[in-house]
Amino acid sequence: MSSKRRNKKKKNSVLSAVVVIILAAVYLVWGKEDAEPTRSGLIPVELIKTIDGDTIKIKYEGKEQNVRYLLIDTPETSHPRLGKQPFGEKAKERNQELLNSGKLEIEFDIGEKYDKYNRLLAYIYIDGESVQEKLLEEGLARVAYVYPPNTRHLDAYEKAQERAKKAGIGIWTLEDYATDRGFDSDTYSITDKNTETNSKTDAEESFKNCTELRKKYPNGVKKGHPAYSERMDGDKDGYACE
């Protein structure tokens, strides 16, 4: 092979390598925009209790700890000063329903992990779906307590809140009830337990035995559910009457 042909072949090889590198760079830049975010940061935990619409108790790192949901706020259910607010019970019930419907996981942001009350600050997921976003979208919560750098999902939450506002559902059915400072208890308050529409009590559900429980919950219930009872959890696996 002549020197001229060898040089030409070498140039073609270099050119091909450059093209491959350029294409790879383009893919990395543009491909990332369309890629789904990873969920490697989600931590499976055990639900102990649903406290209200934006606070739960879980078992994490071997001990029971309260968790305050990041970036949202729901109306109060039994605040010492504010009392019981409209949609507070409904938010708690919906939160509890979601938490009992699948695998519970939490995600931390890059900022503070605990608040001043020593509660964990986290994003909450059931089967990979955001509970915060669901509550916002259903008009049972407002975007609140935005403290950078714990703002990873702020854009998605604000969009979910805007959808609820446009639909005029939940807390957005009450004019000027949800404000930047919280929920207006002075204008909207619950002075009688019968004034909140479609509200259920928070009392535990009681069943005589698993036969009775399965009439309402065919697959049984897990720990944290209002109907869960240790006496009906024979193998102590966290599920009753499964």
* pLDDT tens digits for range 41-60: 899 999 999 999 999 999 99
Q: Please indicate, yes or no, whether the overall pTM of this predicted structure exceeds 0.85.
A: no
- Looking at residue 76, its pLDDT comes to 92
Give the confidence band of 22 by pLDDT, cuts at 50, 70, 90.
low
Catalytic choice (68, 94, 142, 152): 68
Higher model confidence: residue 223 or residue 98? 98
The residues facing 129 across adjacent strands are 126
Cα separation, 47 vs 60, whole angstroms: 9
Per-residue pLDDT, 242:
80
Task: Given the residues 94, 119, 142, 152, select the one marked as catalytic.
Answer: 119
pLDDT for 14 beyond 70? no
Average pLDDT over residues 4-10: 54
User: What is the band of 26 on the pLDDT scale with cuts at 50, 70, 90?
Assistant: very low
Active site residue 138: no
Q: Is 68 a catalytic residue?
A: yes
Sequence-distant contacts of 122-127: CB under 8 A, at least 24 apart: 122/67, 122/68, 122/69, 122/70, 123/69, 123/70, 123/71, 123/152, 123/153, 124/56, 124/67, 124/69, 124/99, 125/39, 125/42, 126/98, 126/99, 126/101, 126/102, 127/101, 127/102, 127/103
Q: Is 94 a catalytic residue?
A: no
Q: Could you report the per-residue pLDDT of 152-206, keeping only the tens digit for each?
A: 999 999 999 999 999 999 999 999 999 998 998 777 766 434 334 433 333 457 7
Higher pLDDT, 196 or 226: 226
Point out the catalytic residue in the list 76, 89, 137, 138: 76
